[in-house]
Copies of this chain bind each other. A is one copy, B any other.
């Protein structure tokens, strides 16, 4: 699929169709790469040993097809530059925040957990270098950094091995910085994206980024893209392809909690919210009583900075998920998970391979529709 610069792009990444699929699930990554797209494993939360196991599995299942890895190394976080253990960081969470969470749980008929009070600082990027080393020992063909400019050692490692380094940005100013730092691929992500996101929409940020970096490197469009017609829209605007995440959460292969899948299938695009209540940085997720509790409002509770808010919220949200899957009503009202506004177009559980094939079909129909709008 492709001619001109678009075909060059596909050729250089060894793919048939420029659909990039970010997933925490190795099965999704392999299925997408096997179907002609490009699977990207979200590896930020893994230990080096876990990551090695996941990548080994992928190697055994993609028959040499290309795939990549995504690690989070934020530019700024509480405790960065200091030598702080998880325990030191945990001591920075004020008691008033634990009391606020305990009351929120009590209001929903859930007892506080007095044993596990704090999660690991998984978004702190503390083990980023180790994860990168593990990834390098596998035949990855792209590596991405989701938060901030990639550190020098990541860019250098990519150069040495000929592995392109990608970076996600939500604003043109960030894209310009990333290109100056030496990244090979920009993912321009709109505010409709699931997870951490900026404020500018995909339809605006994609052309804005392409103009700002003056075509220096290819740009993938991200944010709200769950169909081939939306991907075609992005390519019409000059993107080299699409970077997707949410659409894989309701595939057969995904390990999404069952009650979360139910929520996502029922959700309209208006059932997500950009909230700092989960990680401390604004991230889009299903709106719930949890996100409402941290919403900016007169008299509201201000979330803690990254990674403290995440350390506070993750163990609680995991318990909430487990209770919700058991049918606990209060837990169902509280439970939330990262997903973009495209959730409004996700209405059926399908195999990941079928999602890729439907993307291609829908993309072709969109291209024909635009072509037919031209004068004869």
Does the CB pair B364–A374 fall under 8 Å?
yes
A281 to B171, CA, bound (A): 27
Does the CB pair A227–B200 fall under 8 Å?
no
**Cβ distance A3 to chain B, nearest Cβ, rounded Å:** 5
**Cβ distance A363 to chain B, nearest Cβ, rounded Å:** 9
A225 to B373, CA, bound (A): 18
Does the CB pair B299–A269 fall under 8 Å?
no
Using Cβ atoms and an 8 Å threshold, which residues of chain B touch A364? 374
Contact with B along A252-264 (1 / 0, CB 8 A): 0000000000000
Q: How many residues of A contact B (CB 8 A)?
A: 62
A87 to B7, CA, bound (A): 66
Segment touching B, from A27-35, A205-213, A305-313, A348-356: A205-213
Segment touching B, from A136-144, A234-242, A324-332: A234-242
A298 to B371, CA, bound (A): 51
Chain A residues proximal to chain B, CB less than 8 Å: 1-4, 6-7, 171-173, 190-192, 198-205, 207-208, 211, 223-225, 227, 229-230, 232-238, 268-270, 295-302, 341-342, 344-345, 364, 366-367, 369-376
- List the 6 closest pairs (A to B, CB-CB), nearest first: A233-B233, A6-B373, A192-B201, A236-B370, A236-B366, A201-B201
Given contacts A3-B376, A191-B191, 8 further A-B contacts (CB under 8 A): A6-B373, A190-B203, A201-B223, A204-B224, A207-B229, A229-B237, A232-B370, A236-B369
